[in-house]
Amino acid sequence: MITGLNHVSIAVPSLEAAAERLKALYGLAVGEPRVNEEQGIWLAYIDLGNARIELMEPTGADSAISKFLEHHPAGGIHHFCLNVDDVVATATGVAAKGVRVLGESGETRNVHGERIAFVHPKDFYGALVELEEHHTR
């Protein structure tokens, strides 16, 4: 079951430059950068209380974020993430209705170790959607 919005992910060419700009223009504080080696990205979060903004910079040319930035060199919204009670149950349930689930549901994990899966953009009005098993932080 979907329980809420977790975060919106924005691909950026430079995490440091994005953090400086968001601080200067909007007063947003960006947390410490982390690396997700499996996905080939540096990432940092802006905590908004009820949701977060995730900034993602590719660690190399083979990252999906590098490919996204080839088409959007200034950066842009890459996907949004929804909290779910159980990734496997949610992914299995929507797949049974014909939704294309990307990745290995239940096997892929984010930088926090939580289980994630993705819904193909063609099955959610052009938006890539991440499903994240929600745990209290």
Residue 136 has pLDDT above 60, yes or no: no
Range of the domain at 11: 2-133
pTM of the model: 0.88
CA distance 92 to 67: 28
Residues known to be catalytic:
130
Are 124 and 98 in contact by the 8 Å Cβ rule? The answer is no
Domains held by the chain: number: 1
Residue 80 is part of a domain; what is its CATH number? Answer: 3.10.180.10
CA distance 29 to 95: 38
Q: What are 85-118's pLDDT values in tens digits?
A: 999 999 999 999 999 999 776 788 888 888 999 9
Q: Cα torsion for 17, 19, 22, 24, to the nearest 10°?
A: -80
Residue 137 has pLDDT above 60, yes or no: no
